[in-house]
């Protein structure tokens, strides 16, 4: 709205930015990926090389 003062627009922008950053940080740090331990160990193959010089 053009009747609003510029300082009001600035305060709304700052408030929106802070809420946006908090929301993104909460989504980033509270996300825990599910990694099955049994399938993880089955797919790892250890190649040992015996070098004969």
Domain residue limits, the chain:
1-53
The predicted pLDDT at position 10 comes to: 87
Provide the token pair at 7: 């300082």
Dihedral, CA atoms, 13, 18, 22, 25, nearest 10 degrees? 90
The predicted pLDDT at position 51 comes to: 67
Closest CA to 30 of 18, 38, 22: 22
Closest CA to 5 of 41, 13, 49: 13
DSSP summary character for residue 42: H
Q: Mind listing the pLDDT tens digit for each residue in 9-37?
A: 889 999 999 999 999 999 988 877 776 66
Any idea which residue has 């993104």 for tokens?
24
Please state the pTM of the whole predicted model.
Answer: 0.50
């Amino acid at each position: 709205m053009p009747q609003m003062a510029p300082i009001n627009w600035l305060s709304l922008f700052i408030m929106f930015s802070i809420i946006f950053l908090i929301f993104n940080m909460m989504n980033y740090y509270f996300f825990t990926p599910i990694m099955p331990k049994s399938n993880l160990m089955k797919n790892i193959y250890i190649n040992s090389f015996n070098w004969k010089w």
